[in-house]
Amino acid sequence: MSGDDGLLPVPEALARILAGIVPLPAENVALHEAAGRTLARPLAALRTQPPSDVSAMDGYALRHDDLGGPLRIVGESAAGRAYEGILQPGEAARIFTGAAVPSGSDTVLVQESARVEDGRLEALEHPDRGRNIRRAGIDFREGETPLPAGHRLGPSSLALAAAMNHPLLPVTRRPLVAIIATGDELVRPGSPVGKDRIVASNAYAVAAIAVGAGARALDLGIVPDRLEAVEAAINAAREADADVLVTLGGASVGDHDLVKPALARQGMEAGFWRIAMRPGKPLIHGRLGAMTVLGLPGNPVSSIVCGLLFLVPLLRAMAGDPDAKADRSEPALLGCDLPVNGDRQDYMRAILARDADGRPVATPARSQDSSMLKVMAQASCLLVRERNEGPRRAGSPCRILRLGEGC
């Protein structure tokens, strides 16, 4: 429920944004193109790993019962070139890491514990039976599904998928995020900047946030403060089949804030408008057909914070992440005293350090002005303060949201 001030609480806003979102269709991509993508269905192993018992060390394969006497070395087993015979009593085979354990043997003696002279082996220690052998299927067996649907593919899971013998992976289609910056005052980086102009920066941050969440970003440029121009940009996003339209600026109530009326003229099904948070109170949510609309504030820090809080979970939900709705905050300790918080949930830019016991300590920056990108870039986390939260002393528990590199 929103408060008497009409501002929607952050958790309710996120729930409304994610309501009804279903994963995008699946597509098959090559292993080398699947980093950062999300599995559309569980991935089953097409083989057993290892396919047979293999040695975990360089040494000698032998029968444990034969360790008391000298053994005759009758052959060699190397990775990819297994010993084909069956070891008989009193026999051993030279073996290398990853090589198949010869039939008839049940133990591997490491080479440092062996004395070999004239093809005869003497054990300098007696390892336990089965020592230094990796059993067949110890990693995974054919038909197992160690990678579930919704799993985001990183280096380790890509290696696992490759080991399971998958050249192609079924992943959800990457969402397409169209980004529109509005405002007569905006110019591109590198352009002449007069005293009444601002270098546009938000689109680059939001695009990076989208790409980091596994989406594609389409920058539709800077749109002047004219209703027909804003509508034309919205139409461009629809023609591009964007899954999400992000507008930057123009979401407030001023005479030049034209995003809401332009979206209304396009037939947007309105969700909500204002959120009880700082920074980032004016935020538009709605739908234009199949396209989700997020109208972020024009203030640079506000757009970044709102992008992290709302755009990232939305994109992860579209990718099929089952944890898209999960609370990503974590506990820490407060690094300084703080006064009473106001009636909006606050996301303070903070530096994260460790105390003498290794516990995370978050210290907010002195200035929390939402126009200050330098403070945002230097922050390592957002310190979350609840609405109407009482004063807090240094060392007391708090909640933080870690910021990824480059935020």
What's the pLDDT at 172?
Answer: 97
Same domain, 182 and 130: no
Same domain, 285 and 188: yes
Q: Which of 318, 340, 374 is the last residue of a domain?
A: 318
Same domain, 280 and 192: yes
CB-based contact 313:14 (threshold 8 Å): yes
Torsions phi, psi for 207 (to 5 deg) = -60, -40
CB-based contact 185:199 (threshold 8 Å): no
End-to-end CA distance of the chain: 31
Task: Kindly state whether residue 186 falls inside one of the protein's structural domains.
Answer: yes
Task: Look up residue 295 and give its amino acid.
Answer: G
Task: Kindly state whether residue 5 falls inside one of the protein's structural domains.
Answer: no
Alpha-carbon distances, residue 127 vs 64, 83, 112, 113, 382 (angstroms): 8, 22, 12, 9, 54
Same domain, 36 and 154: yes
Q: How many domains does the chain have?
A: 4
CB-based contact 325:317 (threshold 8 Å): yes
DSSP designation for 370 = T
DSSP designation for 319 = T
Same domain, 33 and 80: no
Q: Which of 125, 155, 171 is the last residue of a domain?
A: 171
Q: Which of 263, 284, 318 is the last residue of a domain?
A: 318
Same domain, 60 and 105: yes
Q: Copy the structure tokens of residue 112.
A: 């440092």
Strands, DSSP E only, in 251-344?
269-274, 277-278, 282-288, 291-296, 330-334
Report how far residue 126's alpha carbon sits from residue 144's, in angstroms, rounded to the nearest whole number.
36
Same domain, 32 and 165: yes
In 3-state terms, what secondary structure has residue 48?
coil
Range of the structural domain that residue 121 is part of: 54-134
**CATH no. for residue 245?**
3.40.980.10
pLDDT, tens digit only, all 407 positions of the chain: 344 457 899 999 999 999 989 999 999 999 999 999 999 999 999 999 999 999 999 999 999 999 988 999 999 999 999 999 999 999 999 999 999 999 999 999 999 999 999 999 999 999 999 999 999 999 999 999 999 999 999 999 999 999 999 999 999 999 999 999 998 889 999 988 878 888 999 999 999 999 999 999 999 999 998 999 999 999 999 999 999 999 998 765 554 578 888 999 999 998 888 899 999 888 899 999 999 999 999 889 999 999 999 999 999 999 999 999 999 999 999 999 999 999 999 999 999 999 999 999 999 999 998 889 999 999 999 999 999 999 999 999 999 999 975 45
Q: Are strands 186-187 and 269-274 parallel, antiparallel or unpaired?
A: unpaired
Task: Kindly state whether residue 407 falls inside one of the protein's structural domains.
Answer: no
Same domain, 262 and 372: no
**CATH no. for residue 30?**
3.90.105.10
**CATH no. for residue 85?**
2.170.190.11
DSSP designation for 365 = -
Same domain, 36 and 165: yes
Task: Kindly state whether residue 104 falls inside one of the protein's structural domains.
Answer: yes
Same domain, 261 and 397: no
Same domain, 187 and 286: yes
Same domain, 343 and 208: no
What's the pLDDT at 253?
Answer: 54
In 3-state terms, what secondary structure has residue 385?
strand
CB-based contact 206:179 (threshold 8 Å): yes
Task: Kindly state whether residue 139 falls inside one of the protein's structural domains.
Answer: no
How crowded is residue 202: how many other Cβ atoms within 10 Å of its Cβ?
25
